[in-house]
Amino acid sequence: MKTLIAYGTRKGASRRTAELIGETLTKADGRSCIVKDAKRVGRAELEGADSIVVGSSIAVGRWKPSAKRLLGKAASTGKPVAVFVSAAGVLSGKEPGSPDAEPKGTLAEREAEAVGRYIDPVVAKAGARPVATAAFGGRMEMFGKVIFDNWDPEPITAWATDIAGKLR
């Protein structure tokens, strides 16, 4: 079994997430995983994969265009697809411009908000029916300064372990 894990990233968090998903899926059931930048994925990789995971960083409320385009292509294959985003801002629970404020809502509420805001509309437009979706933390920088870095490997590993069977 072969899984293509494609990502669009700005600061590297989505790449790190994709790599960890690949490592976890391989450990879970021995599958072969190809982790690749979405802008470098061609027809051969899509056709050669048994399942596909597509992820994107979210910057200014938007997906990386290459990941968004690839999701549409992945949806048209009829193969199992899973989708994730790196949404550092929403997962931080802080309003823009107030980095010292207390986070709003629980982490689960913020994850659900990120999925509803960033994954659901893009998936619907692409005609995809993902077997699983998730929002993870990432890294936010402005003018070369790190505002926050809330990338955490634990929820990524848990999600990847959970989706192993769904991507068959």
Domains of the chain: 2-87+108-136+151-163 (3.40.50.360)
7: three-class secondary structure by DSSP: strand
133 contacts 123 by C-beta, under 8 angstroms: yes
Give the pTM: 0.95
Q: Note the pLDDT tens digit of each residue in 14-58.
A: 999 999 999 999 999 999 999 999 999 999 999 999 999 999 999
Q: What was the pLDDT predicted at 97?
A: 67
Q: What is the pLDDT of residues 71-97, one digit of tens each?
A: 999 999 999 999 999 999 899 988 766
Model confidence over 102-121: pLDDT tens digits? 889 999 999 999 999 999 99
- Residue 155 carries which DSSP code? H
Q: Are 24 and 134 in contact (CB under 8 A)?
A: no
